[in-house]
Chain A
Amino acid sequence: MKKIIYSINHFFQKLSRILTQNKILYIEGHTIKMFNRNISPRLFKILFTLFITLLIYFFLFIFGTASLFFVLRRSIYIIVPLILVAFGGLYSERSGIVNIALEGMMVFGAFIGIMFMVKFQDSSLNNQIVYLIGILLAGIAGMLFSLIHAFASINMKANQIISGTALNLLAPAFALFVIKLMYGGEDILFRDDYFVRDMGFLTKIPVLGPILFEKGYYSTFYTIVIIIIAGIFLYKTRIGLRLRACGEHPHAADAAGIKVSKMRYLGVMISGLLAGIGGLLLVVPLDVAYRATASGYGFLALAVLISGQWKPTRIVVVAIFFGFMLNLSGAYLSIGFLRDAGLPDKVYSMIPFILTLIVLAFTSKTSQAPRAAGEPYDPGKR
């Protein structure tokens, strides 16, 4: 009990610190300030109560008519790959290579993974093992594919946006070409044998267990592990520090004896790995056929990365918000007051994009992009 109270206290401390540091809401002397503007305590009280009431109403409405868990569970299918791919982008951009080819890497990774899984879905192998190998293959495929981008932007000092665009065009065209050749159609049909109702001890975790691990995929668990490792690797290890140094000031990193091109290769390859896996994880729960597209999720991950200001924790928060909102278009029918509003369903599909624009308008004033991202490293330049 003591522990819970302590952690709640810790959470609020952290929240107030974030609000203060970003100048969203903080106290200076005797006045309360919001976005650098004074507001009277009375107005603040009104706003605060309004906000809390709205929040409570929102959750009550969801609870009142349908299971909150159902809505959350569906959004997990989107949130998990989104975080993974955005982390991929993070690795690449932190090492100094702008990667708008995330979409292409997702398409390519999913393509190889699905081909393998379709081939072995009727064999005697255990489904979950097939899925795991499929995920690994998708990652490796994404990594190999990303080498094309790495070669152009590191060795050839090419414009990284052009080379990224080329990969985005190449992946779907190549995948469609091969699909037509091997399967005769426009898509690869697959059976979703990888869904599990219960994941043993994982489901028993309070609150998070039923959301993440009940009626889901083992991939959710793998991904959470990968995300944690990726975050720690980038921020707590020596290689991670070196990689970030190459994205901020490659000349200084070079002078300190770090091989810039090696680090950048590492960054791009990890980004391909994560994006490839993310591509597969997105197709399996949401579709019955692979159609050689990632439905724009690679670009969405890029948006998540930028609105997350190239920081892992913020990326996770933004991705959760984004995934939840994206899922509204699929889930609004089970949320009472949204169903009664009678709006066309595509309005809910638009909301996350509009909200992102508004959020970005408030948070982008001081952009914290890696300083050297997008510039080819030229040792002779001062």
Chain B
Amino acid sequence: MMKKLISILKNFILNIPNTLIKPFTKIGFLASLFAIISGILVGFLIMLVVNTPYAGGGLMTIFFGGFNKGLTSIGDVLIYAAPLLLAGLSVGFAFKTGLFNIGVSGQMAFGAFLAIFVGVKWTFLGDFHWIVAVLAAIIGGALWGLIPGLLKALFNVHEVVSTIMMNWIGVYGAFVAYKAAGLVGSTTQNAQKVARSGALPAWGLDSIFNSNTINNGIILAIIAAILIHIILNKTTFGFELKAVGLNKDSAKYAGINSKRNIILSMVIAGALSGLAAATLYLNVTGETYKIETYPIEQGFEGIAVALLAYSGPLPIIASSIFFAWLKVGGDQLSGWGYDPNIIGVIISAIVYFSALGFIFKKVVKKIFKKHFGGEII
């Protein structure tokens, strides 16, 4: 087992240059690029209609707002990106195994509750405090994902419905749970901040990016993405998961326990969401958990992240950073008189155009064949 794992890791490390370049030559990347360009074009057109003279400036802000304070801005992008990456990974992983996980918000909510509980109360843990808090978040998310998984495997309950229900149970449960556990913060709408030892450490990123809000969340997220990539593409377990996703019945015929795999993939997706909650809320100076009557929005943005990347774990790293970059740029748009909500429009347009990727691929393949006489994969 250990030997196999080491050889997989070795192969993977040797292949990193290859895996990094390969996606860019694939047609999937072209389709994503097409979606991004069309989406931004839609946003630009709207800005042109609304306020013509400033549209150019607005577009430049969207593009370069992520750099305008140098490394600090890049740090901001990475702070935004970490939870998006993990939420997208959760959705994408479930997608690869044939499940649509809209329940990232609920899984994040329960993960966040356990993480904040540990982060506030268990200060006796010392140096291990943040690790235990992260583990608590992962366990919370996994438990919240386990329920829809069980319902799907044993009772054939549609996971779209059950995860939506779990989202709302999480939303309203938070009101009860935070009050009961005594974790309500300075106002009734905020949870308490975790202790400093419970917050994620910066691992030197703070001095690189000259920012006091950044933490190791992005590193954890990228490690998770690579792990998921290895699980899905290099192990038998991942192969079985994907086989169940492609065709449940033929997987069963091939001797794969599809029920077990459905449950496991929901648990893993939930665990990833829980980790997303940890990167979002385990801090002293950044985002605070809000006890309100709406699901956590990062959970839904994760869907967009996964869709733009066609659910590939490594492309999700790029797409989450891209979306975070748009967000940071968009926050500065009000300087040009545009409402930052235009970023939401652009993101939805990008998702829409990535849905049209199928037809795009077909057209490109045809053109390529006609002019170059070859196949493009």
* Interface residue ranges, A against B (CB under 8 Å): 100, 148, 152, 156-159, 161-163, 165-170, 172-174, 176-177, 180-181, 293, 295-296, 299-300, 302-303, 306-307, 344, 346-347, 349-350, 353-354, 356-357, 360-362, 364-367
Residues of B within 8 A of A354 (CB): 165, 169
Residues of A within 8 A of B354 (CB): 162
Using CB atoms, name the residue of chain A closest to B351: A166
Interface centre among B161, B179, B307 (most CB of A within 10 A): B161
Cα–Cα distance between A30 and B154 once the two chains are bound (Å): 30
The reply to whether B156 and A365 contact each other, CB–CB distance below 8 Å, is: yes
Interface centre among A173, A356, A365 (most CB of B within 10 A): A173
Residues of B within 8 A of A100 (CB): 160
The 8 A CB mask of B150-188 against A (1 = contact, 0 = none) is: 010011111011101111110011011001000000000
The reply to whether A350 and B161 contact each other, CB–CB distance below 8 Å, is: no
Q: List 9 A-B contacts (CB under 8 A).
A: A156-B358, A162-B355, A167-B348, A303-B164, A346-B173, A350-B169, A357-B147, A362-B155, A364-B156
The reply to whether A302 and B100 contact each other, CB–CB distance below 8 Å, is: no
Residue B296 CB within 8 A of the other chain: no
The reply to whether A364 and B158 contact each other, CB–CB distance below 8 Å, is: yes
The reply to whether B359 and A176 contact each other, CB–CB distance below 8 Å, is: no
Q: How many residues of B contact A (CB 8 A)?
A: 49
Residues of A within 8 A of B175 (CB): 344, 346
Given contacts A166-B351, A303-B165, contact A176 B344 (CB under 8 A): yes
Using CB atoms, name the residue of chain B closest to A344: B176
**Known interface pairs A156-B355, A170-B348, A177-B345; 16 further A-B residue pairs with C-beta atoms within 8 A, sorted by A's residue number:** A156-B359, A157-B358, A162-B307, A163-B355, A169-B347, A172-B344, A176-B344, A181-B50, A296-B164, A303-B165, A346-B172, A353-B166, A357-B157, A357-B166, A361-B155, A364-B155
A148 to chain B, nearest CB (A): 7
The reply to whether A166 and B352 contact each other, CB–CB distance below 8 Å, is: yes
The reply to whether B168 and A353 contact each other, CB–CB distance below 8 Å, is: yes
The 8 A CB mask of B322-350 against A (1 = contact, 0 = none) is: 00000000000000000101111101110
Residues of B contacting A: mostly: helix
Residues of A within 8 A of B40 (CB): none
The reply to whether A158 and B176 contact each other, CB–CB distance below 8 Å, is: no
Interface residues of B in 192-238 (CB under 8 A from A): none
Q: Which of A181, A296, A353 touches B339 (beta carbons < 8 Å)?
A: A181
Cα–Cα distance between A360 and B164 once the two chains are bound (Å): 13
Using CB atoms, name the residue of chain B closest to A148: B352
Cα–Cα distance between A378 and B295 once the two chains are bound (Å): 37
The 8 A CB mask of B292-325 against A (1 = contact, 0 = none) is: 0111000010011001000000000000000000
Interface centre among B307, B343, B351 (most CB of A within 10 A): B351
- For the complex of A and B, list the 9 residue pairs with the smallest distance between their C-beta atoms, beginning with the closest: A173-B344, A170-B348, A166-B352, A169-B348, A162-B355, A346-B175, A158-B355, A180-B339, A166-B351
Residues of A within 8 A of B173 (CB): 346, 350
B295 to chain A, nearest CB (A): 7
Residues of B within 8 A of A176 (CB): 339, 341, 344
Residue B356 CB within 8 A of the other chain: yes
Residues of A within 8 A of B46 (CB): 177
The reply to whether A299 and B156 contact each other, CB–CB distance below 8 Å, is: no
Cα–Cα distance between A344 and B164 once the two chains are bound (Å): 22
The reply to whether A307 and B161 contact each other, CB–CB distance below 8 Å, is: yes
Residues of A within 8 A of B304 (CB): 165, 169
